[in-house]
Chains A and B, each alone.
Chain A
Amino acid sequence: MYFGVNEIRIDRKVSELDRFVLDFISIVQNFSKYVIINGYVAILLGRTRATEDVDIFISQMNKDKLKELYDTLLNKGYWCVNSDNFDELYEYLSSGIGIRFSQKGEIVPNMEVKFAIKTLQKEALLDTIKIKIYGEELIISSLERQIAFKRYYLKSDKDLEDARHIEKILGEKVNKEKIAYYKKKIENDA
């Protein structure tokens, strides 16, 4: 694993989960800014656990643009688990509710997509790191942000372990002030 400036190169073997995420993101990135958050970030960095759902924020967009993205996903072999009614899906997203996509005929793994609506969510789209896996790229949330959210907001055993793993992987490169900054933001937002 090579840590550059706002960039990590991982020469890892690609899992089925990675392939699912890389393929989905290759479509989404043509329509919107995005950022991958939560468990998959830790998994990408080597955590020994699997997940059945991957969480991303995308920029808020108007209905026409979302329809283009939605139609493209359907044409590329995905289905939306929530509903087949596009108007309903737009309402969900606009209300801050995630919608899940999986490959047709599957529900695992699935991608939970949310509009970044709240301030902290919008900030996640800006505080990112690029992950390079051979020729492909993914944008993930900053690792300090992930540590803070898992440790001070989500707090389940799994999340605390994820936070610990990420912190250990970062080692001396971890920015403790940044973790403290997000901790404060989370507490104020609660």
Chain B
Amino acid sequence: MTLKPGRMNFVDYWADFVRNNDDEIWSKQQNKLIDSQIQSSREFFRELFKEDFEAKARKYMREMGKINGLSGKVIPIEKAIEDSKK
């Protein structure tokens, strides 16, 4: 497998930016991306599993193949939403 040229160029561009700038500068930019993704994911799952969070979250993670040794079984988010109502 080889990297797609456009993405590879961006990886190189950003790595150069990280190397040539103070940590505070690049990390501030990077954190905007990371923090916003984490916050939106958290809000999404809190809303999705609001009652009985742990049982529903566990079921979802199991069906996603993220826990207990299962792997690769991805379920559509629509099904997760439907299941969360049960």
- Chain A residues proximal to chain B, CB less than 8 Å: 1, 10-17, 43, 45-50, 52-53, 79, 81-83, 92, 95, 97, 99-100, 105-109, 155-157, 160-161, 164-165, 168-169, 171
- The reply to whether B19 and A161 contact each other, CB–CB distance below 8 Å, is no
- Chain B residues proximal to chain A, CB less than 8 Å: 1-4, 7-8, 11-12, 14-16, 18-19, 22-24, 26-31, 33-35, 37-39, 41-42, 45-46, 53-54, 57-58, 60-61, 66-69
Q: Provide the main secondary structure of the chain B interface.
A: helix
Residues of B within 8 A of A164 (CB): 3, 8, 11-12, 15
**Nearest 7 Cβ contacts at the A-B interface:** A168-B15, A12-B27, A46-B18, A50-B37, A108-B41, A15-B31, A11-B23
- The reply to whether B22 and A11 contact each other, CB–CB distance below 8 Å, is yes
- The reply to whether B68 and A92 contact each other, CB–CB distance below 8 Å, is yes
List 27 interface pairs A-B (beta carbons < 8 Å), by A numbering.
A1-B19, A10-B27, A11-B22, A13-B23, A13-B31, A15-B27, A15-B35, A17-B34, A43-B30, A48-B30, A50-B33, A50-B34, A81-B61, A82-B58, A92-B68, A97-B68, A106-B42, A106-B45, A107-B45, A107-B60, A108-B38, A109-B38, A157-B7, A160-B1, A165-B11, A165-B15, A168-B16
